Amino acid sequence: MATLTGRASRRLIAGAAALTLIGAGSAVVTAAGPAPASTAAEPVMGGHITVSGEAEVANAWTPAAMQCDSYCYVRARTFFDTIAAIDENGEPVPMLAESFTPNDDFSEWTVKLREGISFTDGTPFNAEAAVYNLQVAGTSLLLAAALGDIAKVPSADDPSKMELKIEIADEYTFTVYLGKDGDPEQPRTWPRFPAAFSTQWGMMASMEWLQAVAGDPSLAATPVGTGPFMVESYSPRESLDVVRNPDYWMTDAAGNQLPYLDGITFRVIEDSEVAAEALQAGDIDLITTSGARAIADFQEMTDDYSVNMQEEQGETNYILLDLDKVGPLQDQRVRCALSLAIDRQELIDATAAGILEPANGLFSPGQQGYLEDNGLPIEQDLEAASALIAEYEEETGEDVTINLGHTPPNSVVQSAELIMGYWNEIGVDVTDQTVPQSDFITLALFGDPAFEAFLWRNHAGALVSDQYFWWHSTNAAPDGQLALNFSRIRDEDIDAGLEAARGALTPEEGQAAAEQVNRAFAENCYEIPLSWTKWAIISAPEIQGYGDLRIEGSEQPLRQAAGQFWVHTLSLAEG
């Protein structure tokens, strides 16, 4: 058995930028360096590797409760398979499912599951187990808002409670019914609905284990799924150890049973600088990072490392604003002034090694709805920004004061300091708040008093319909209540665009709807875009098999989303 350890220490890396991460999407993957994606002629069975990512998950590990960022997805998919996955073309393909079949108007979807699959506790994966999972997660406090257009009906067990309208046809078949805002009397056209099965909602856990966790929450630390690995141990904020599932159902194209590795240790290292140093010291074998400085340095060391870039359809680095906070952020002039005050290129040069591109919105290049010119100025204009602040203060008699929150890594602190300096120049008073990474998402979810303006990162994906639950007003519960629409945006044009995109039957319809949303964001300065994120999966040259996972019946490999990768086909080279 091979294990990677003890490689010679190499040059240390400077501090790396890492804004908050959440969500999942699509990304184009390119590779450089030794043993890049898909170069292994024959897989090597066995071995153990150590992986590092930037954040620990909150509320691990039940699909209904996980506050799941990119690194959470990587780890969760080692033990939870999903009903669907997304391929390189951005299309949903069956994974645990065998097929998805819509009715004529795409408002009902019949799912046929693969037969003969079991959870690692020996219980069968079938329609009963799948629907149980979908009901528990789909009606949970965290995920229900993201699934508002699935029809709801009174529960057969307790008519006082509502549940998703899902009907089981036989042991391996069920149908999901869609309804506008959950109304079964208003069928909802949703052509891309199977993509929802590729998300956290579609992660399948043992029904027996979920029921046990309901009685003893401590059991959530030892999740049970159908995935390629099984959890051996979990220490929050330290490590997650998984070992090979010897009875995993999936094989590669040559008939070899997956996964190839015997085990993986996942560590959490929030600071990209520290993670990069650990990789060079041989303490870890692979890092997933958005740290631009680290990425830039490793791109100069491709003789020694594989650098797998994810550069398109990625996330945006931006300042997330809470529009429910009474005060200056509710005024468009102030928000636009804060945006105009920022020198984006200087910020990128100082904190991101100059390798990122200034962003004019939350639609990154390659995404549906991206526009080179959406109407938002990205050049710094201190004079115009100062005039807007002065106009607001004269009209209201109130000074503009902003509380800027951010996570602890050095380059994030540096970014915050630069932004506070820009805002000071236009007459804005700024208070500085450092927030632990593990608390960041929770504060935004509930509109905590501490959340006013946060340095943030989100919104990877191919289609604007993937962002529906982040931006639609139905998900904008007021501060103090859980809202996936963190900014509490309530805009009729954005809602209309999202609605049109969700029901779009042609690419042209979807593009027009997405552009409408993009321009509405730009006009109102609801968020302050800074730059478009680049992610990299950087590893020792011995690790191979990136991008090789294909589902039986699909010609395309599965797409690796921003900061994510599939562990099934990772292996160690001989020697």
Q: What is the CATH number of the domain that holds 475?
A: 3.10.105.10
Distances in Å between the alpha carbon of 480 and those of 219, 324, 446, 488? 29, 10, 5, 11
- Beta-carbon contacts of 165 under 8 Å, excluding residues fewer than 6 positions away, are 150, 151, 152, 153, 176, 177, 179, 184
pLDDT > 70 in the chain, percent: 93
Domain membership flag for residue 12: no
Query: Can you say how many angstroms the Cα of residue 508 is from the centroid of all Cα atoms in its chain?
Result: 26
Other Cβ atoms closer than 10 A to 446: 16
Taking the alpha carbons of 92, 357, 537, 73 in that order, is the dihedral positive or negative?
A: negative
pLDDT average, residue stretch 49-54: 94
Determine the Cα–Cα distance for residues 61 and 63; give it in Å rounded to an integer: 6
**Is the per-residue pLDDT at 36 higher than 50?**
no
Beta strands in 189-302 (DSSP E): 229-235, 239-244, 263-268, 286-289
Is residue 209 in some structural domain? no
Task: Give the model's confidence band at 41: pLDDT under 50 very low, under 70 low, under 90 confident, else very high.
Answer: low
Average pLDDT on 281-305 reads 92
Residue 552 makes CB contacts below 8 A (sequence gap 6+) with 250, 251
Q: What is the pLDDT of residues 328-374, one digit of tens each?
A: 999 999 999 999 999 999 999 999 999 999 999 999 998 999 999 99
Q: Examine the fold and report which residue of 162, 187, 202 is the final residue of a domain before the chain moves on.
A: 202
Predicted pLDDT at 61: 97
113, 190: one domain: yes
Closest CA to 21 of 62, 56, 65: 56
Give yes or no: residues 153 and 65 share one domain.
no
**Nearest one of 255, 231, 251, 252 to 241, comparing CA atoms:** 231
Q: Of 168, 202, 236, at which residue does a domain stop?
A: 202
Q: Can you give the pLDDT at residue 521?
A: 98
Residue 90 pLDDT = 82
- The closest alpha carbon to 17, from 280, 287, 286, 294, belongs to 294
Q: Are residues 422 and 441 in the same domain?
A: yes
Q: What is the dihedral of CA 501, 503, 508, 511, to 10 degrees?
A: 10
290 or 129: which leads in pLDDT = 129
- Selected residue with higher pLDDT from 15 and 225: 225
Q: What is the pLDDT of residue 561?
A: 73
- CB-side exposure of 88: number of CA atoms within 13 Å? 13
- Work out the angle at residue 272's Cα, subtended by the Cα atoms of residues 482 and 242, and round it to the nearest 5 degrees: 75
| The pLDDT of residue 21 is above 80 | no
Answer whether residue 88 is part of any domain.
yes
381 in the same domain as 525: yes
Q: Please count the CA atoms within 13 angstroms of the CA of 222 that sit on its side-chain side.
A: 10
Q: What is the dihedral of CA 512, 518, 522, 523, to 10 degrees?
A: 40
Count of domains for the chain: 3
Residue 489 CB burial class (10 angstroms; 0-12, 13-18, ≥19): buried
Pairing of strands 453-458, 316-321: antiparallel
Say whether pLDDT at 507 is over 50: yes
Residue 489, token pair as written in the block: 């945006």
* Model pLDDT for residues 253-262, shown as the tens digit of each residue: 889 999 999 9
The answer to whether residues 429 and 491 belong to one domain is: yes
Say yes or no: 74 and 97 in one domain: no
Asked whether residue 477 carries a pLDDT value surpassing 80, the answer given is yes
Top pLDDT among 125 and 291 is at 125
pLDDT interval class at 106 (50, 70, 90): very high
SS3 annotation, 177-209: EEEHHHCCCCECCCCCHHHHHHCHHHECECHHH
Position 213 scores a pLDDT of 97
Measured between alpha carbons, how far is 207 from 129 in angstroms, rounded to an integer? 6
93 in a domain, yes or no?
yes
Rg over CA atoms, the chain: 23
User: Would you place residue 15 in the very low, low, confident or very high pLDDT band (cuts 50, 70, 90)?
Assistant: very low
For residues 211-234, give the mean pLDDT: 97
Helix (H, G, I), strand (E, B) or coil at 569: coil
Confidence category of residue 466, pLDDT binned at 50, 70, 90: confident
- Residue 573: its pLDDT value, please? 85
Tell me if 23 is assigned to some domain.
no
Given this model, what pLDDT does residue 378 score? Answer: 96
CATH number at residue 58: 3.40.190.10
Looking at the fold, whether 385 and 454 belong to one and the same domain comes out as: yes
| Mean pLDDT over each residue of the chain, to the nearest integer | 90
In this structure, the answer to whether residues 378 and 508 fall within a common structural domain is: yes
In a domain, 213, yes or no: no
Strands 535-539 and 528-532: what pairing?
Answer: unpaired
Q: Which residues pair with 49 in a beta bridge?
A: 264
- Lowest mean pLDDT: which of 160-169, 350-359, 433-442, 514-523? 433-442
**Which tokens in the block code for residue 268?**
């959490």
**Domain-ending residue, one of 202, 235, 265:** 202
On whether both 500 and 444 belong to a single domain, the answer is yes
CATH number (domain holding residue 145) = 3.90.76.10
Overall average pLDDT of the 427-439 stretch: 92
144 and 70 in one domain? no
Cα gap 146→194, rounded to integer Å: 14
Q: Tokens at residue 113, please?
A: 């599951």
pLDDT value of residue 461: 82
DSSP for 538-564, written as a single string: EE-TTEE-TT--B-TT-SSBBP--TT-
- Do 471 and 381 fall within a single domain? yes
Could you tell me if residue 447 is left (phi over 0), alpha (psi between -120 and 50 degrees) or otherwise beta?
A: left
- Is residue 40 domain-resident? yes
Average pLDDT over residues 102-120: 98
- Average pLDDT in the 506-510 region? 93
What is the value of pTM for the model shown? 0.84
**pLDDT per residue over 137-177, tens digit each?**
999 988 998 899 999 999 988 999 999 999 999 999 999 99
Instruction: Evaluate if residue 441 carries a pLDDT over 70.
Output: yes
Question: Has residue 128 been placed in a domain?
Answer: yes
User: Is the pLDDT score of 417 beyond 90?
Assistant: yes
Is 148:193 a contact under the CB 8 Å cutoff? Answer: no
Clarify whether residues 339 and 428 are in a common domain: yes
Structural domain containing residue 198 = 84-202
Q: Residue 462: its pLDDT value, please?
A: 82
pLDDT digits (tens, 9 = 90+) for 57-78: 889 999 999 988 889 999 999 9
Return the ∠ at Cα 424 (arms to 422 and 428), rounded to 5°.
115
Cα angle: 249, vertex 2, 236; to 5 degrees: 70
Distance CA 350, CA 135 (A): 47
Q: Identify whether the C-beta of residue 308 lies closer than 8 Å to the C-beta of residue 570.
A: no
Q: How confident is the model at residue 575 (pLDDT cuts 50, 70, 90)?
A: low
User: Which residues partner with 101 through β-bridges?
Assistant: 110
Query: Residues near 391 by Cβ (< 8 Å), separated by ≥ 6?
Result: 333
In this prediction, residue 37 carries a pLDDT of: 37
Task: Report whether pLDDT(109) > 50.
Answer: yes
